[in-house]
Structure 1
Amino acid sequence: MNLRIILIFSILLLSCQPDKKAANTIKLAHSLGVTHPVHKAMVHMAELVSKKSDETLKLEIYPSSQLGSEQQCLELLQIGSLGMTKVSAAVMENFSPDLKVLGYPYLFRNDEHRFKVYDGPIGEQLLAGSEKYWLKGLTYFDAGSRSFYTKSTPIESPEDLEGLKIRVMQSPTAIEMVKKFGGSPTPISWGELYTSLQQGVVDGAENNLPSFYSSKHYEVCKFLSMDEHTAIPDILVISTIIWDKLNDFEKTWILEAAREATVHQHKLWKEAEEEALNKVKQSGVQVFYPDKSRFEEKSESMFQALKEQDEHLYELAEKIKSVK
């Protein structure tokens, strides 16, 4: 190979590399506190992106609702004013209707079943479904199972929810579920919930263990009922407006870092669940383990109604249930 060919080859190779002088920064905003395992996983992802890109691509993280609620962050993504966010799949269903299926109670048999769905063809299909709304799902972060916690009375059966105002996310499915159980669903933003519990605007809420602990809601609500009605993941989302501006190298770094951060997050989540349960017990919270079958029976009518109202979504739920 003569010198000229080697020189041309070298120039072409260098031209394929991203410009190291101009670092590209993507803003990532979310509503969780800095001690939350999902936030820690995103910090880990930012470190991975920086390392993989030789610091030519960076993620700048804004936690604790600094740039708005989950809903507001998604809207900022849609116009390209914000790069990335982490939201619950329950909030995403307002933008990507098929994600509604993940909010149905007792959809998954166990954690192994859940992760097989997230990591398989159905999970990929659901992530891709939001792209027409300018929102690209990158990965699922484990958000465990959600249970009820209350101020004045434990929830040991669906009947105990009657007459209680229960905070839910801005999710039609979550609202319908609490109604089926007999409670009065009350959508309130996460940032306003602590004060709402203190002032009696609501009698309780439902969430996973780490969120119950990190939010300090256990200071107000001394009854935790582990009915584990839903297991709704968090989704890491990037604006398609921002995504389409990235080169192939940058896209690869982000996807690889997201996958690696997800594995790391699963480990952090298990540790956080154990810590949260121990800490809230130490603070005086009474933990109850009600008969889940009674809640499951109440929720069956939701699937029957879904079969009549949305055959596509019902079939999707059945596919999820059948994953082995």
Structure 2
Amino acid sequence: MKNVKTVMAALLASAAMASAAAACEVTLRSSDTHPDGYPTVAAVNAMGKMLEERTDGRLCIEVFHSAQLGQEKDTIEQTQFGVIDMNRVSLGPFNNIIEETQIPSLPYIFRSVEHMHKVMDGEVGQQILDAFNDHDLVGLAFYDGGSRSFYNSQKPIKSMDDLAGLKFRVMQSDMFVDMVSALGANATPMPYGEVYSSIQTGVIDGAENNWPSYDSSGHFEVAKYYTLDQHLIVPEVLVMSKTAFDKLSAEDQAIVRQAARDSVPVMRDLWAARELESEARVREAGVEIITDIDKTPFIDAMVPVYEKYVTSPKLKDMVARIQATE
């Protein structure tokens, strides 16, 4: 109930600032934990402009960035309840809710970002989006989340031995806890917004994320060792509350789906540019970047993780199809 009140208070407080959106018949309120200007935020804003143009002003989107409506776990629940209309979230927090989302979240499942694009833009990606329907959500599109690597405040990580005993924040996903444990480190699930202070105070030694998040969060200020092991290439997903979606006409539903798809190349272009900018900024700040690393032992250590999570014929088939995608 407290979370609902927090969300509603934020929504009401924003009403005075939504002059452009006020002209629309329906303003869809969308949540994002990232700051204003971040590629995912900019992409949903671009989608909103498409909707306004394509519906002659019937539909608009107002993006609540910077976790104004709460951290991802809370906003997922509020989107399912229909308090929030749309939500951009990493697939990680969905792993314990929708089993299909576990597959693209597996460590080293994708060979490259290009491989991930090919898979998520194809039949496997659509199968995963369809799986949201049974959880009071409508899966609209996948955005990029970059490749995630470990960073910490203690020492350079050049091998699995260097991970032993270190405490790393992970997203609130059992799979990510098991991944870190399989590498010999200690996993601490916690919301994204608590990571900076937790590293600063020694509650954890580090975390794992992509270049833009490592940069925009300021984590590089308190964790100056970044190892490019690229253990995860986890897509982000844009979802809509089924309650809000069902209120739209069939015509507007189709327009929303197409606008979401059309926002994907916008996001990817912004993401590619942002990665380069963030990497340059982090390097200029004097962070030690470790690139000379043999990933083979890391990949081999993931066998028990795959055995635990890829259990049903459906999931095994998805893994096989991903691995067969050229």
TM-score, length-scaled by structure 2: 0.90
1:147 aligns with 2:149: yes
1:82 aligns with 2:84: yes
1:265 aligns with 2:267: yes
1:179 aligns with 2:176: no
Cα drift, residue 222 of structure 1: 0.5
Give ranges in structure 1 of 5+ residues lacking alignment: 1-20
Q: 1:225 maps to what in 2?
A: 227
Q: 1:49 maps to what in 2?
A: 51
Alignment of 1:238-249 (within 5 A): 238-249=240-251
1:302 aligns with 2:317: no
Q: 1:100 maps to what in 2?
A: 102
Find the aligned partners of 2:188 and 2:51 in 1 and give their Cα distance: 39
Seen in structure 2, the aligned counterparts of structure 1 residues 282 and 116 have a Cα distance that, compared at 3 Å, is same
The answer to whether the Cα contact below 8 Å between 1:90 and 1:102 also exists between their aligned partners in 2 is no
- SS for the counterpart of 2:302 is helix
The answer to whether the Cα contact below 8 Å between 2:26 and 2:60 also exists between their aligned partners in 1 is yes
- SS for the counterpart of 2:60 is strand
Q: 2:195 maps to what in 1?
A: 193
Find the aligned partners of 1:92 and 1:235 in 2 and give their Cα distance: 10
Q: 2:64 maps to what in 1?
A: 62
Find the aligned partners of 1:286 and 1:294 in 2 and give their Cα distance: 22
Find the aligned partners of 1:233 and 1:227 in 2 and give their Cα distance: 17
Q: 1:213 maps to what in 2?
A: 215
Deviations 1:127-159 (CA, angstroms, capped at 9, x unpaired) = 110111101110000111100011011111111
1:291 aligns with 2:307: no
The answer to whether the Cα contact below 8 Å between 2:211 and 2:278 also exists between their aligned partners in 1 is yes
The answer to whether the Cα contact below 8 Å between 1:70 and 1:87 also exists between their aligned partners in 2 is yes
Q: 1:26 is matched by which residue type in structure 2? A: L
Find the aligned partners of 2:261 and 2:314 in 1 and give their Cα distance: 29
The answer to whether the Cα contact below 8 Å between 2:156 and 2:225 also exists between their aligned partners in 1 is yes
Q: 1:299 is matched by which residue type in structure 2? A: M
Q: 2:303 is matched by which residue type in structure 1? A: E
Q: 1:315 maps to what in 2?
A: 317
Find the aligned partners of 2:264 and 2:109 in 1 and give their Cα distance: 22
Runs of 4+ in 1 over 3 A off after TM superposition: 304-307, 309-312
- SS for the counterpart of 2:103 is helix
Deviates more, 1:187-196 or 1:47-56: 47-56
Find the aligned partners of 1:306 and 1:62 in 2 and give their Cα distance: 34
The answer to whether the Cα contact below 8 Å between 2:113 and 2:147 also exists between their aligned partners in 1 is no
1:138 aligns with 2:140: yes
Cα drift, residue 22 of structure 1: 6.5
Find the aligned partners of 1:54 and 1:158 in 2 and give their Cα distance: 56
- SS for the counterpart of 1:144 is coil
Q: 1:253 maps to what in 2?
A: 255
Find the aligned partners of 1:311 and 1:159 in 2 and give their Cα distance: 35
Deviates more, 1:252-261 or 1:195-204: 252-261
Q: 2:6 maps to what in 1?
A: none
Give ranges in structure 2 of 5+ residues lacking alignment: 1-22
TM-score, length-scaled by structure 1: 0.90
State the percentage of identical aligned residues: 35
Find the aligned partners of 2:208 and 2:24 in 1 and give their Cα distance: 45
Alignment of 1:268-283 (within 5 A): 268-283=270-285
Deviations 1:229-284 (CA, angstroms, capped at 9, x unpaired) = 01001100001111111012221221121111101111111111111111001001
1:168 aligns with 2:174: no
The answer to whether the Cα contact below 8 Å between 1:35 and 1:214 also exists between their aligned partners in 2 is no
Q: 1:300 is matched by which residue type in structure 2? A: V
- SS for the counterpart of 2:300 is helix
Deviations 1:187-214 (CA, angstroms, capped at 9, x unpaired) = 0101111111111111000011111001
Seen in structure 2, the aligned counterparts of structure 1 residues 72 and 306 have a Cα distance that, compared at 3 Å, is closer
The answer to whether the Cα contact below 8 Å between 2:45 and 2:62 also exists between their aligned partners in 1 is no
Q: 1:97 is matched by which residue type in structure 2? A: E
1:237 aligns with 2:243: no
The answer to whether the Cα contact below 8 Å between 2:24 and 2:60 also exists between their aligned partners in 1 is no
Find the aligned partners of 1:244 and 1:271 in 2 and give their Cα distance: 36
Find the aligned partners of 1:305 and 1:52 in 2 and give their Cα distance: 46
Number of residues of Structure 1 aligned to a counterpart in Structure 2:
303
Find the aligned partners of 1:40 and 1:25 in 2 and give their Cα distance: 17
Deviates more, 1:44-53 or 1:182-191: 44-53
Find the aligned partners of 1:119 and 1:279 in 2 and give their Cα distance: 31
Q: 1:301 is matched by which residue type in structure 2? A: P
